[in-house]
Every structure is written in C-alpha cells, then in structure tokens.
Amino acid sequence: MHRTLADDLSRLPELLQSARDFAAREVAGLDARPVAHLGGPPDAEPLPADGVGAEGALARFAERWAPGFSASAGPRYLGFVTGGATPAALTGDWLTGAYDQNSAGGGDSTATALERETLSWLRELFGLGDDHSGAFVTGATVSNTVGLAIAREWLGERLGVSVSEEGAGALGPVDILSGSPHSSVPKALSVLGIGRGRLRTVPLLPGGREAVDVARLDAELEALDGRPAVVVANAGTVNTVDFDDLRAIAALKERHDFWLHVDAAFGGFAALSPSYAHLVDGLDAADSVCVDLHKWLNVPYDAAVQFTRRRDLQVRVFHNASPYLGAPTGEPDFVHLTPENSRRLRALPAWFSLAAYGRAGHREIVERNIALARRLGDGIADVPGLRLLAPVRLNVVCFTLEGDAGRERVHALGRAVAGSGEAFVTPTVFEGTHALRAAFSNWRTSEADTDRVLAAVRRAAGATDS
C-alpha cells in the first residue's frame, strides 16, 4: 500500500473527525456566508505527483475551493427549486458513502430491501396505490426520461412492435402532448430517439394560467383518430406552480388511447398538506410519475424517484441481460429498472429523513415554505416599482419590474440581489415577460429569512430604479 494511503488508513477515525468538524463549521456558517458566489474559480493546479494525504487535501480544499461554494443548502437560496439537506438526510448521506453499497441487486446485502422500504413509504406519502412500483434515480430529468421510455415501449405494445428490440424508428412519428412541460421533457424526448420536435404544446387555460385546457387536450386527442399518444401532465410548473387537472385528464382515457405521465417534480409534495392535496388529486391514475427528492424532501443531491404501473414494460426497456447479473425474474433487481447499472444507495438519506421526521415533519416543511412564499409575495406586491406576475399559488413568487421589464433590467435586479449576499433568485420568462423567481423549498427558511430576502429585493429594486 502507498505510504500516504497506509497512513490515512491508520488514522481514519481522526480524519473523519476532522471532516466532521469542518462540515459542522461550514453548516453553522450557512447563515453568514454570501448566498451566492459571483467570482470565478481559483487558478487551476496540476495533477499532484505525490498526494498530500486526506488531511492535506482537506486543508487545500478549505483554502482554494470552499470559499467559492454557494450557500445553496441555506435558508435564503431561492433560485431554481433548491432543497437543502435535513440533519437526518445529511447523516444518511454520510453513511451512504461510508457503507458504499451498490444497490443494483440483492443477494449480498439488505441495502436493496431498504430502497424498497423507502419507495413504499414515498408511495404512501404521495398517495399512490400498490399498483405503482418505484425506483430511485438521480433527478427529475432522469425520472421523466425513464417514465417516457416506458411510455415509448407502451406505444410499441399498442402498435404491435417492440421498441426495445427494433428501435424507436419502428414506431413512426409519435405524438407527445403537454400544456406547460418542463424543459427536461424535450431533453428526454431527444435522448429517447422520439425527437424534441414531436412535443406538441396544448393551449392553456385563459387568465395567466399554466394549466392545460383539458377541453383542448380532448380535441387534440380526438384528432389523432385512435392513434395512441403520450400525455405529459404537469403538477407544479416552475414559474407559477400551476397544476393540470389530473383527474379530468385521466378521465379522458375512457375515450382516448394514451399513456399518462405526470411530472410532479416538486408539486407532488402538495400531497403532504391536507390544504393543498387536492392539487394532485388523480395522481394515482398516472401510468408513470416523476417526483424529485433533492428539492422538497430536502435530501442532498442527487435523488429523485420514478413510479410506474407497468414495471413489465420498464424491465423490457432497462433489463441488463448478462449471466453474471442474473435474469430479471420475480421481483426484478434495480439494475433492470433504471439507466444505471451500479447504483449508489440514494434511498438512505431519504430513509433517514422519513424515519426522523415522518409525514408530520415533512408536512410542516412544505406548509411553512408555502406560508413564507405568500409572505414574500405580499411584501413584493407592496414594493414600489415591482409587481407580481402571477398569484402565489404554492411555493414560488414570480415577480418583475413595473414599466420597462426588459431582459437587461430584470437580470440586473437579480444580480443585485445575489450581489448583496443576502438572497439568491433566478430569472425566467413568463408569458413573454422577463421576471425573477423566488422558490421556497428549504427546510431551514424562517419568517426572519423571508424578511431579509424582501429587504434585499427592496434595496436592489430601489438601486435598479435610480
């Protein structure tokens, strides 16, 4: 064994203690550090010929890289839809690395059974029935991709061809219909050989809504004249957190032949609150469902879950036939369900957080975030020179400048907010208007944090105005 490596091995408990102390300081400092780092990276260094050992690497990291990391795990990082890591989730994540299990298949460990237990807890949390089976993947983009891959196989089944054997070309042109699909959906269609151009957006409800007009969807499906299609329903859009009427869409199945995929990346968490659960009413009727976990469950990157009613088709797409891996019989191993072969035990942080806080604890996070988004929305509506672009429907505040809300001015406002170090929000375009989004999904965020965000936005707007 290399001398430095042997040395590290002999001092492993002390090294882990150093890492713990360092991490504890960093996490404790989340409130004080600038929320975003706007400077560049340090100068590159060459590959070390001789390493400096783990303690030395920690010192180098602390000096060169740590200062440039954002406080994205902290309470006032409201860009994109970004969760933090609950204390229990972080604990589970550390142990994931320590145990280094490969959750591809069983036979040598109970790790895959832990993943299954976590999946059944999540299924219950989101109100899905026993007909849905799940698997962990890295994020909602991959979850959408897996769901749409199963949909593609289903289209083949309807048309009497096997896509997994013959390729996507055997299908001919495919119809994918959606109201306000997330950008990861066309990406998935590109990956799957269906093509971004096959995504057809269906008109939305009037009045600034991002929810699909179900009557128009009905008409589009009717026009297909019996040809099977795929409908991507959206449960929580990123700009205004609007929800398609899932129950009404599912009811269209009585008259039309389509696969229903629901992108509930963060909107799925509405199910945790009795006041908002109606927004995802009908989720269980989906053929495949995408929910992100590194957003509103507040587990560290990267984790999402995908559910489907057609695991048989999923196995057809993803089975990895090899004598050394075993055949997908009975309860298929995860290696036969997702794009990965070897798989990190992503379930462990989620298992820890659910074990630690249960349904009630996670419901509290969701409801607090929603209340805080409303608080910020009310505050922003009162700031001269700013206006809300949409009502705060759930956990996102979408706002812009009064008057000339051109790209330059709106982006300058976002940069000024980030430059204050107090908060981080990200730009978007909604109905042709440049805007900023503040998305609440961190378990730490308090009323005081929200008021600090409002103050930072108010100051930045004043400065941008003058």
Ligand X SMILES: *Cc1c(COP(=O)(O)O)cnc(C)c1O
The yes or no reply on residue 398 touching ligand X (CB under 6 A) is: no
Helix (H) or strand (E) holding 413: helix 407-419
Which one of residues 292, 340, 422, 449 is an interface residue with ligand X (CB under 6 A)?
292
Q: Min. distance of Cβ 263 from ligand X in angstroms? A: 5
Q: Min. distance of Cβ 134 from ligand X in angstroms? A: 16
Give one DSSP letter per residue of 328-357, joined into a string: --SS--GGGTSS-SS---THHHHHHHHHHH
The yes or no reply on residue 148 touching ligand X (CB under 6 A) is: no
Q: Min. distance of Cβ 379 from ligand X in angstroms? A: 24
Q: Min. distance of Cβ 150 from ligand X in angstroms? A: 17
- Residue among 140 and 454 whose Cβ is closer to ligand X: 140
CA dist 132 and 125 (Å) reads: 13
The beta strand positions in 242-287, using DSSP E, are 258-263
Write each residue from 40 to 79 as x if it is in contact with ligand X (CB under 6 A), else as -, in one continuous string: ----------------------------------------
Of the listed pieces 120-128, 259-267, 373-381, 385-393, which binds ligand X according to CB under 6 A?
A: 259-267
Contact 440, 366 (CB under 8 A): no
Q: Min. distance of Cβ 11 from ligand X in angstroms? A: 37
> What residues between 100 and 139 interact with ligand X by CB under 6 A?
139
3-state SS, residue 427: strand
Question: How many other C-beta atoms are found inside a 10 Å radius of the C-beta of residue 430?
Answer: 19
Which one of residues 123, 152, 182, 336 is an interface residue with ligand X (CB under 6 A)?
182
Q: Min. distance of Cβ 33 from ligand X in angstroms? A: 24
3-state SS, residue 421: coil
The yes or no reply on residue 220 touching ligand X (CB under 6 A) is: no
Contact 418, 404 (CB under 8 A): no
Nearest to 279 by CA among 239, 307, 232, 241: 241
Q: Min. distance of Cβ 261 from ligand X in angstroms? A: 11
Of the listed pieces 59-67, 87-95, 260-268, 322-330, which binds ligand X according to CB under 6 A?
A: 260-268
The yes or no reply on residue 306 touching ligand X (CB under 6 A) is: no
The yes or no reply on residue 81 touching ligand X (CB under 6 A) is: yes
User: Tell me, what DSSP letter sits at residue 222?
Assistant: H
Residue type, 247: R
CA dist 2 and 454 (Å) reads: 54
Phi-psi region of 292 (alpha: psi -120 to 50; beta: other; left: phi over 0): beta
Lookup: tokens for 1: 């064994």
Residue type, 173: P
The yes or no reply on residue 30 touching ligand X (CB under 6 A) is: no
The yes or no reply on residue 242 touching ligand X (CB under 6 A) is: no
Write each residue from 262 to 291 as x if it is in contact with ligand X (CB under 6 A), else as -, in one continuous string: -x-xx-------------------------
Spatial CB neighbours of 183, under 8 Å, sequence gap ≥ 6: none
> Which residue ranges make up the site for ligand X (CB under 6 A)?
81, 139-141, 182, 184, 236, 238, 263, 265-266, 292, 304
